[in-house]
Amino acid sequence: MHIYKVGGAVRDRLLGRPVSDIDWLVVGATVEEMHAKGYRPVGADFPVFLHPKTGEEYALARTERKSGRGYGGFTFHASPDVTLEEDLIRRDLTINAMAEDEAGTVYDPHHGKDDLENRILRHVSPAFAEDPLRVLRVARFAARYAPLGFRVAEETLALMRQISASGELQALTAERSWKEIERALMEAKPQVFFQVLRDCDALPAMLPELVDDAQALAALEQAAAHEQPLHVRWACLLRGLAPASIKAVNQRLKAPRECQELALLTGECLAQANQALELPATALLELLQKFDVYRRPQRFEDFVVVCEMAALGDGEQGYPQADYLRGAAAAARAVDVKPLVQAGLTGQTLGEALKGERLKALEAYQRG
C-alpha cells in the first residue's frame, strides 16, 4: 500500500502557488484494508474514503472505460493491481497527472513538469476526447493560469474541437455546466475561459448568445480586474443581450437567483442608466422603484457597478452617471414616511403620497 499526493496539490506546489485542497491516491490497497485502518467510505461510483483523523479524501487507484454519453458515461475499475501509471494516464492534463510520495519524490510519466515550465496545457492521452466536461475544465484552467502565460496546446484544442463536433457537450447537465462556468467566472482572467470555448467551437453549444458579443468579454475583464463578486461578473457577461435572451440563458444554465435577477435587470435598464443625466425625474423614480431601492439598496449599487464595468470595457474614461444615480437613490431613500402616516394616510393613498414626495425629492436633487 502506497499513498501519493496527486493532481492540483503537486501542480500548484511546483508553480509556487498556495495549495488548498490535497487529493490523495492509494495504490495497492483493498477496500477491506482501508476499512481496517479506520477509513470511512464515501464514494458512490468508485472507492473514496475519508481519513479517520484529518477527514481528507483518499481514493483507490482506478482505471476507467467509456460506456455512455456525457461526463458520467464511464465505468470504473479499482483494485490493488491498478498501478500509479495506470491511474495517472486517465487524468485530463499532463500538469494534473503528477504524483508525489511521502518522501517528496515526484512521479511524472507524462512530462507535466516540462509543460509547467513551458506554460502549456496539454492532454495526457487520446482518451481526453471521451469526456466532454474536459472542454470546460481546460478552458477554466486557461483562465486561471493566463496571468502566468499558459496557453492551450494546439493538439489539445484539436481534441476539444472534436468533442464540440461530436454533440457530447449537449449531454452535460445544467448543474455541472454552471459549476464550471461559476468557477471560471471567479478566476483571474475569466474572459479567457470564453475565448477558449470560442477557439474550440464549443461556445455555440454552451452559450450561443455570446458568439458575436465581444463587448461582453471586455466588461467581464473589467469586473475581474476590479475583483467584483460572481453576480456582478455574470451580469457584465450578459449585459449586451436582450432581456429575452438573458432569461433563456439563466433558465438553461439554472444560474443562482441573485445572478439571474441582476443580469435581467441589467438587460432591461442599462440603456436607461446610460442616459441617467438626461432622464426626467419621473423616469428616474421608475428606475429606482424597479430595483426596489428602498428595501434592497445593494442590488441597485451592484447594477451601478455593472454599468461602470461596461463603460470601462467600452473604453470610456469614466462614468459620471454612477455618482449621479447613487445620489438620486440616496435622495429618494431619504424621504421620511412617518409624517404621512401621522397625517392618517393608509394603503394606496399612502403609497401614492409617498411616491409624490419621492418625486419632489428627485426634482430637488436634479435642480442641485
- Quickly list DSSP for 70-103: STT-EEEEE-TT--HHHHHTTSSBGGGS-EE-TT
User: Tell me, what's the pLDDT at 67?
Assistant: 46
Q: Which residues of the chain have pLDDT under 50?
A: 67, 70, 73
Last residue of a domain, one of 110, 129, 146: 110
In 3D space, the residue among 34, 131, 117 whose CA is nearest the CA of residue 74 turns out to be: 131
Last residue of a domain, one of 92, 110, 128: 110
Q: What is the CATH number of the domain that holds 24?
A: 3.30.460.10
Question: What is the predicted pLDDT for the residue at 211?
Answer: 87
Q: Which residues contact 97 (CB under 8 A, 6 or more apart)?
A: 7, 88, 89, 91, 108, 109, 110, 112, 124
Distance between CA atoms of residues 95 and 116, nearest Å: 6
Query: 3-class SS at 184?
Result: helix
* Helical H segments across 146-280, by residue range: 154-166, 174-185, 190-199, 203-206, 214-225, 230-238, 243-253, 257-274
Would 214 be classed as within a structural domain? no
DSSP code for 150 = -
In a domain, 237, yes or no: no
pLDDT at residue number 20: 82
d(CA 200, CA 315): 28
What is the pLDDT, as a whole number, of residue 73? Answer: 47
39: in domain? yes
Res 45: pLDDT: 64
What are the φ/ψ torsions at residue 39 (nearest 5 degrees)? -75, 140
- The answer to whether residue 98 sits within a structural domain is yes
Place of cell 503528477: 98
Which residue bears the cell 429618494?
Answer: 332
Give the burial class of 256: count Cβ atoms within 10 A of its Cβ; 0-12 exposed, 13-18 middle, 19 or more buried. middle
| Residue 126: inside a domain | no
pLDDT for the residue numbered 66: 55
Q: How many domains does the chain have?
A: 2
* Nine cell digits for residue 205: 453549444
> Is 157 within the bounds of a domain?
no
Q: Is residue 46 part of a domain?
A: yes
Cell numbers for 329: 437613490
Instruction: Give the single-character DSSP code of 239.
Output: T
Inside any domain, residue 343: yes
Sign of torsion, CA 6 132 163 204? negative
Domain boundary among 87, 110, 133: 110
pLDDT for position 75: 66
> Could you say which DSSP state residue 2 is in?
E
Q: ∠ CA(277), CA(282), CA(287), 5° rounding?
A: 70
Residue span of the structural domain in which 106 resides = 1-110
pLDDT for position 99: 96
